[in-house]
Amino acid sequence: MVTKGMEANEQEQREKQRFPPCNAEWSSAKGSRLWCSQKSGGVHRDWIGVPRKLYKPGAKEPHCVCVRTTGPPSDQQDNPRHSNRGDLDNPNLEEYTGCPPLAVTCFFPL
């Protein structure tokens, strides 16, 4: 049992490195803002990324993650014939309506 729990935790940490949570802010005056930084979600990395909705199997709602926009997909690091779009083409991701595709920050006014 402990081993399965440790494996699940390691898998969750790998997923968080691949798709770190977005920063989020809401105010009654301005509405919502989602953004990515090199430290968003408490995950330090050498890329910033763009906000996307991540749909996880079994989850009722998607959550905001930061997605790499360049290089090979995370699951194909050794593939020399990649499209240089990072993880943008992952089928579990969706762009936010009204947010430019490569924007680091998305605003959703009231």
Residue extents of the structural domains in the chain: 2-108
pTM, two decimals, is 0.87
Structure tokens at 74: 């995370």
pLDDT, tens digit (0-9, with 9 covering 90-100), for 34-84: 999 999 999 999 999 999 999 999 999 999 999 999 988 988 777 777 788
Pairing state of beta strands 93-94 and 50-54?
A: antiparallel
3-class DSSP state of 17: helix
Handedness of CA 45, 12, 15, 93 (dihedral sign): negative
Q: Is the backbone of residue 36 left (phi > 0), alpha (psi -120 to 50) or beta?
A: beta
* Cα–Cα separations (whole angstroms), residue 29 to 32, 34, 51, 86, 109: 9, 16, 22, 35, 9
Among 8-17, 27-36, 61-70, 89-98, which is the least confidently predicted range?
A: 8-17
- The pLDDT-based confidence of 2 (bands split at 50, 70, 90) is low
Q: How many CB atoms lie within 10 A of CB 18?
A: 19
